[in-house]
């Protein structure tokens, strides 16, 4: 029995390497209908995945998101306007596999190689915009993706308050090695209020949070085995 416990503990501590083992089929990051599904350069939903979507009721361009995320975004946009007098604008929500493939191909042509394109754009299937849980935001004066977002009145408010609505600022400076992406101060990911609060308070990337959650799941298994 001790051998099994040790084995499970070492699995738990092994980190991302083990994130998609058989033990994890029911884990939150593998639940594609859940709010914690992990989609990044390593873990992908696959080209066939299309979530159920609706158009968020707000100003902006690509407004399609999953219903729970769209509802939270509408609430956040309304409160932002009430508090700051400025509006946030949707720039890009749902992005299909096919659209990702087109964007990637364009970038490769522009910068000359896949290696260079990889620094800026996700390979097809690696963008979490495919989940319908991510939204790029602009504001009154700039309806595109900009580093200036957090310095606008609306952007500052959203950056500070998004967790209250279930969103996290997904790609931050210093996290590049974990997330695989440069900081994107306009990209918000919906994970639900409970997880967003925990992630915000602990100031950690989603990947790290999922490892911690997974360790909790494994510990429950270990404790169940001991009992």
Examine residue 136 and tell whether it contacts Zn ion (CB under 5 A).
yes
**CA dihedral for 99, 100, 105, 110, sign (positive or negative):** positive
If one counts every other C-beta atom within 10 angstroms of the C-beta of residue 38, the result is 22
CA dist 33 and 55 (Å) reads: 18
Size of interface with Zn ion, in residues (CB under 5 A): 2
Q: Say which residue the tokens 């306007």 belong to.
A: 81
Is there a catalytic annotation at residue 184? yes
Part of the chain binding Zn ion (CB under 5 A), chosen from 18-26, 49-57, 130-138, 161-169? 130-138
**C-beta closer to Zn ion: residue 10 or 182:** 182
Which of the following is catalytic: 184, 201, 207, 216?
A: 184
Beta-strand relationship, 88-92 and 134-139: antiparallel
Task: Report the DSSP beta bridge partners of residue 136.
Answer: 92, 187
How near is the Cβ of 93 to Zn ion at its closest, in Å? 9
**C-beta closer to Zn ion: residue 86 or 136:** 136
What backbone torsions phi and psi does residue 56 show, to the nearest 5 degrees? -65, 140
Examine residue 95 and tell whether it contacts Zn ion (CB under 5 A).
no
Residues 162-191 binding Zn ion (CB under 5 A) are 187
Interface residues toward Zn ion, by CB under 5 A? 136, 187
* Residues assigned a catalytic role: 184
């Amino acid at each position: 029995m001790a051998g099994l416990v040790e084995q499970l503990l070492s699995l738990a501590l092994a980190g991302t390497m083990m994130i998609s083992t058989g033990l994890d089929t029911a884990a939150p990051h593998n639940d594609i209908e859940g709010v914690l599904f992990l989609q990044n350069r390593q873990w992908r939903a696959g080209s066939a995945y299309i979530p159920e979507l609706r158009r968020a009721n707000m100003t902006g361009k690509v407004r399609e998101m999953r219903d729970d995320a769209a509802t939270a975004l509408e609430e956040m946009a309304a409160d932002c306007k009430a508090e700051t007098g400025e509006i946030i604008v949707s720039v890009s929500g749902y992005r299909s596999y096919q659209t990702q493939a087109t964007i990637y191909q364009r970038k490769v042509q522009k910068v000359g190689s896949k290696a260079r394109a990889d620094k800026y754009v996700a390979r097809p299937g690696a963008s979490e915009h495919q989940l319908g849980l991510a939204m790029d935001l602009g504001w009154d004066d700039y309806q595109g993706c900009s580093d200036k977002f957090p310095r606008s009145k609306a952007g500052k408010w959203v950056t500070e308050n998004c967790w209250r609505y279930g969103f996290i600022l997904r790609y931050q400076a210093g996290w590049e090695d974990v997330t695989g992406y440069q900081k994107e101060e306009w990209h918000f990911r919906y994970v639900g209020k409970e997880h967003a609060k925990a992630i915000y308070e602990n100031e950690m990337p989603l990947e790290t949070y999922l490892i911690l959650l997974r360790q909790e799941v494994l510990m429950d298994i270990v404790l169940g085995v001991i009992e």
